[in-house]
């Protein structure tokens, strides 16, 4: 693994989160009907930060939930390692809400598909809008994000590594090359 570039640094991440929060509020005309749902693991921290920003801007605090889409994955039989499941923590009703689904990296779209299925089992939202920090391309499903922090075109032997202070030692987004 070789780090090829630091694409977003700490200040950059703050600005991106601020912009995403503004875009979400603009599209939804405020925060009255929205709820935020972060996809474990880094989507959760991203969602918390966007929530904090929304509170700062709008004064209102939308509900925040954490989604674990592991049980809805399509690769149980093909993966070598068994994925670890954790708890979905959405204690409010999402029916008729505008759900902002938040994740760190959009890649094949398979996790998003699993997350959408998981959300549909919890209720019938008015809309689901998808917010990602990085869109790296290479979609395998017809899925696109509504709010994008940064588009980073990548090759298949590259990887995007999002680091967040909540679990990593810094705030940053790296482009990494995998040697094989």
Partner 1 sequence: MSLAINHLLGLQNVSKNDIQLILDTAVTFREVLDRPIKKVPTLKGTTVVNLFYENSTRTRLSFELAEKRLSADTLNFSTSTSSTKKGETFKDTVRNIEAMKIDMIIVRHKSAGVPLYLTKISNASIINAGDGQHEHPTQALLDMYSIREKLGKLKGLKICIVGDIRHSRVALSNIYGLKTMGAEVSVCAPPTMIPKNLETFGVKVYTDIHKATRENDVLNVLRIQLERNAGSSIPSLREYHNYFGITSEVIEKNNKDILILHPGPINRGVEMSSEVADGPYQIILDQVTNGVAIRMAVLYLLGTKN
What are the residues binding partner 1 (CB under 8 A)?
68, 71-72, 76-77, 79-82, 84-89, 117-118, 121-123
Name which of 65 and 109 has its Cβ closer to partner 1. Answer: 65
Name which of 3 and 71 has its Cβ closer to partner 1. Answer: 71
DSSP letter at 166 equals T
Q: What is the smallest separation between the CB atom of 120 and partner 1, expressed in angstroms?
A: 8
Contact criterion met (CB below 8 Å) for 132 and 150? no
Q: How many CA atoms lie within 13 A of 60 on its CB side?
A: 13
Q: What is the smallest separation between the CB atom of 70 and partner 1, expressed in angstroms?
A: 8
Q: What token pair was written down for 177?
A: 């090359």
Name which of 124 and 144 has its Cβ closer to partner 1. Answer: 124
Q: What token pair was written down for 179?
A: 């040697």
* Tally of CB atoms within 10 A around 127: 14
Q: What is the smallest separation between the CB atom of 119 and partner 1, expressed in angstroms?
A: 11
Q: What is the smallest separation between the CB atom of 126 and partner 1, expressed in angstroms?
A: 17
Q: How many CA atoms lie within 13 A of 53 on its CB side?
A: 20
Residues 6+ apart with CB under 8 A from 59: none
Name which of 59 and 81 has its Cβ closer to partner 1. Answer: 81
Name which of 62 and 65 has its Cβ closer to partner 1. Answer: 65
């Amino acid at each position: 693994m070789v780090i090829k570039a630091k694409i977003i640094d700490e200040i950059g991440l703050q600005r991106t989160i601020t912009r995403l929060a503004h875009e979400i509020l603009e599209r939804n005309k405020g925060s009255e009907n929205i709820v935020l749902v972060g996809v474990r693991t880094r989507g959760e921290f991203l969602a918390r930060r966007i929530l904090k920003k929304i509170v700062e801007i709008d004064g209102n605090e939308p509900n925040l939930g954490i989604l674990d889409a592991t049980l809805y994955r399509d690769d149980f039989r093909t993966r070598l390692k068994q994925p670890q499941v954790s708890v979905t923590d959405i204690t409010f009703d999402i029916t008729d809400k505008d759900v902002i689904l938040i994740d760190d990296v959009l890649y094949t779209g398979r996790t998003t598909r699993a997350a959408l299925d998981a959300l549909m089992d919890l209720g019938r939202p008015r809309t689901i809008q998808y917010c990602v920090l990085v869109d790296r391309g290479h979609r395998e499903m017809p899925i696109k994000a509504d709010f994008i922090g940064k588009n980073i075109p990548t090759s298949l032997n590259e990887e995007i590594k999002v680091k967040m202070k909540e679990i990593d030692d810094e705030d940053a987004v790296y482009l990494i090359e995998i040697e094989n």
